[in-house]
């Protein structure tokens, strides 16, 4: 028996440039930056004073007030986008087998703010001041658990944690689980709420963040010669994956088909990518192979494109190595130029961007690409969106620790 086909039937997004999928897509087309001054804490002593924060999000729109206080922000975001995606999919939960409906949902960092506030409580008042909800609020699997509880989903249920590749791994796992017949439906994606003192301070200490405090909306500039670090983002993305015949039988709308994934390890360094983008090259190669395609079939790549010196250069080298002359015919863009880097949620948000690019035939731009790095000489769709019919799109994510993951999406022509 061959692998079962897997399609995307629901989407949910909460991002610095829009609190819904529609708002996100409009902002991506318009080249809108989500960057601005950090409002969540006093940045006086911090090297970086800005981030891509959510705007106007109220968790009580989606979660009971009592429960809001018992969850970290990353879980708020996860439950919100899961609610959007389930609603969007128009699934009747009373008519599906919930033992074959699962959740794989990740976070790169988990409840960072909860950890910080509970340490502060301990230092002020000792162990008696620690909340009984501390551990279940903080751990990075709890969003997956809460989504499962919310909808009574009893299929495979776990979290992925692989830094920036987290939610791409979650989607890849969900894809493979449906392919092999273990489940018919999966909620998959990732969430991050890391605009906190320790996260910003830690990434500053690692010299990973941009410090362009006087040019905040221009700071995320993938593939530009002046790039000097990523811009922290926050939010969540959720996809409903569904077995094709199951979706057809219930008359579901289908956004796109997922036909391949590539999963590799650099085995090189805790933060730096492997030289020449060797791990990224293999990740893309395996996704293309898994989908039964040739490199020349690919039309668009949503790049990892973090706006850091090493990542952008090595991803470019990886693309050139795999695609050869076709590399110069590809449309490529980094939507992180607008959303910032959502860490564990990045892959889900960028998958949504890739799916909508396929559906609507529009390539989101890489904003702020003013002075291309001479070594980054591909078509990164600078500054403005471009109309282009595309049939196959790759979405790349590469994480600290050498975790690489690539998803391959196909335009749905049903």
User: Is residue 341 annotated as part of the catalytic site, yes or no?
Assistant: yes
Q: What's the token pair of residue 182?
A: 């273990």
Cα 113 to Cα 111: distance, rounded to the nearest angstrom: 6
Specify the pairing of strand 392-399 against strand 300-302: parallel
Cα 148 to Cα 102: distance, rounded to the nearest angstrom: 7
CB 368 within 8 A of CB 337: yes
Give the active site residue among 76, 341, 376, 403.
Answer: 341
User: Is residue 52 annotated as part of the catalytic site, yes or no?
Assistant: no
In sequence order, what are the residues at sequence separation of 6 or more whose Cβ sits closer than 8 angstroms to the Cβ of residue 58? none
Give the active site residue among 164, 169, 261, 376.
Answer: 164
Q: What's the token pair of residue 395?
A: 């979405």
User: Is residue 164 annotated as part of the catalytic site, yes or no?
Assistant: yes
Position of tokens 């933060």? Answer: 271
Could you give the residue numbers annotated as active site?
164, 304, 341
């Amino acid at each position: 028996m061959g692998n079962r086909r897997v399609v995307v039937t629901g989407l949910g997004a909460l991002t610095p440039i829009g609190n819904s999928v529609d708002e996100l897509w409009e902002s991506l087309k318009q080249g809108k930056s989500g960057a601005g001054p950090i409002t969540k804490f006093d940045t006086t002593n911090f090297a970086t004073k800005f981030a891509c924060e959510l705007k106007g999000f109220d968790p009580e729109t989606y979660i009971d007030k009592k429960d809001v206080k018992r969850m970290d922000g990353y879980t708020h975001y996860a439950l919100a986008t899961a609610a959007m995606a389930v609603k969007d999919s128009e699934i009747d939960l009373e008519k599906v087998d919930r033992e074959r409906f699962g959740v794989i949902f990740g976070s790169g960092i988990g409840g960072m703010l909860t950890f910080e506030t509970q340490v502060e409580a301990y230092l002020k008042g000792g162990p008696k001041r620690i909340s009984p909800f501390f551990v279940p609020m903080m751990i990075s699997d709890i969003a997956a658990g809460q989504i499962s509880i919310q909808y009574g989903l009893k299929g495979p249920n776990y979290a992925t944690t692989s830094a920036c590749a987290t939610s791409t791994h979650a989607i890849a796992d969900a894809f493979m689980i449906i392919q092999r017949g273990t489940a018919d439906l999966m909620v998959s994606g990732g969430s991050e709420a890391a605009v906190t003192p320790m996260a910003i301070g830690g990434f500053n200490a690692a010299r990973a963040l941009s410090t362009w405090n006087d040019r905040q909306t221009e700071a995320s500039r993938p593939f530009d010669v002046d790039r000097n670090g990523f811009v922290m983002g926050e939010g969540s993305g959720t996809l409903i994956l569904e077995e094709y015949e199951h979706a057809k039988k219930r008359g579901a709308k289908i956004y796109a088909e997922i036909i391949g994934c590539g999963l590799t390890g650099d085995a090189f360094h805790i933060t730096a990518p492997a030289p020449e983008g060797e791990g990224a090259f293999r990740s893309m190669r395996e996704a293309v192979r898994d989908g039964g395609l040739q490199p020349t079939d690919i039309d668009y790549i949503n790049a990892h494109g973090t706006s850091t010196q090493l990542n952008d250069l090595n991803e470019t080298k990886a693309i050139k190595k795999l695609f050869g002359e076709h590399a110069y015919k590809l449309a490529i863009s980094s939507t992180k130029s607008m959303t910032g880097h959502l860490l564990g949620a990045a892959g889900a948000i960028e998958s949504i961007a890739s799916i909508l690019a396929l559906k609507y035939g529009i390539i989101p731009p890489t904003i702020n690409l003013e002075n291309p790095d001479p070594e980054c000489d591909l078509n990164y769709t600078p500054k403005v969106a471009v109309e282009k019919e595309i049939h196959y799109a790759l979405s790349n994510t590469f994480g600290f620790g050498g975790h690489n993951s690539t998803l391959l999406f196909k335009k749905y022509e049903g």
